Amino acid sequence: MRSVGASLRLSYQALDEGCRAAFRVLGLHPGGGIDVYAAGALLGVPAREAEAVLELLLDVHLVQQLEIGVYAFHDLVRSFARGLVGGTGEGEVAVERLLGYYLTATEVACGVLFPDRVGRVTGLAVSGAELPDLGDVVRAGAWFERELGALSLAVLLAQGRGLDRFVVCLVRNVGFQLHARGGWRSLRSWAGWRWVRRGGWGIWSCWG
């Protein structure tokens, strides 16, 4: 384990300061695959710039590439990155940018997939982050399916940071997709359902 830590530190130290900062922030992603759009939201840059950073991290073996435009941290690497952030407060704004991106993207996707859904006022600002192409049912559905794991973890991330408004709005949006793909059984099996069952933040007033 000590040799792994030393190897990670050498790879980190080989980066310039900008890439080091980006690595620390990207490690705040809750888990699962991180595509270039989510990375851009975390970093506050366009997707193309985020992809360039991820490719540099790939070159020094700090991330893995799952498919074109989608990357992942090994658990040990993510833990290392988060340890570098520590209690500096460096990632607070970045996390809210990520959650805002996920909320805005799921709102857009739900608007395409469920056009008869009753709209709700979230009380949260629309994200200015670059979004993937969600312009038709095929693209919106494929994005939702690919991102379900990350979205579930994002709900837990928001819950852990006390960002209940993000929690309830993301739960609502993801719940529509889960219900559409497998009915209430699929919805009940989802980790976010435990939060719903506890009556989290007026969830029922936001459903529908």
List the one residue out of 51, 39, 162 whose CA is nearest residue 98: 39
Residue 179: per-residue pLDDT:
80
Number of domains into which the chain is organized: 2
CB 31 within 8 A of CB 117: no
Q: Looking at this protein, which amino acid is placed at residue 80?
A: F
Residue 2: per-residue pLDDT:
55
pLDDT tens digits along 54-82: 999 999 999 999 999 999 999 999 999 98
Quote the CA–CA distance of 80 and 3 in Å, as a whole number: 13
As a whole number of Å, the CA-based R_g of the chain is: 17
Of 68, 85, 102, the position where a domain reaches its end is 85
Do 71 and 134 fall into the same domain?
A: no
Do 54 and 19 fall into the same domain?
A: yes
**CATH number for the domain that contains residue 79:** 1.10.10.10
Of 60, 85, 110, the position where a domain reaches its end is 85
Of 85, 110, 138, the position where a domain reaches its end is 85
pLDDT surpassing 70 at residue 186: no
pLDDT tens digits along 93-145: 999 999 999 999 999 999 999 999 888 888 899 999 999 999 999 999 999 99
Give whole-number Cα distances, 189 to 7, 104, 203, in Å.
Answer: 39, 24, 17
* Containing structural domain, residue 184: 92-206
Do 193 and 142 fall into the same domain?
A: yes
Do 129 and 170 fall into the same domain?
A: yes
Q: What is the average pLDDT value for the chain, to the nearest integer?
A: 86
Task: Name the pTM for this structure.
Answer: 0.88
Do 196 and 126 fall into the same domain?
A: yes
Q: What is the 3-state secondary structure (H, E, C) of the chain?
A: CHHHHHHHHHHHHCCCHHHHHHHHHHCCCCCCCEEHHHHHHHHCCCHHHHHHHHHHHHHCCCCEEEECCEEECCHHHHHHHHHHHCCCCCCHHHHHHHHHHHHHHHHHHHHHHCCCCCCCCCCCCCCCCCCCCCCCHHHHHHHHHHHHHHHHHHHHHHHHCCCHHHHHHHHHHHHHHHHHHHHHHHHHCCCHHHHHHCCHHHHHHHCC
Q: How many CB atoms lie within 10 A of CB 47?
A: 20
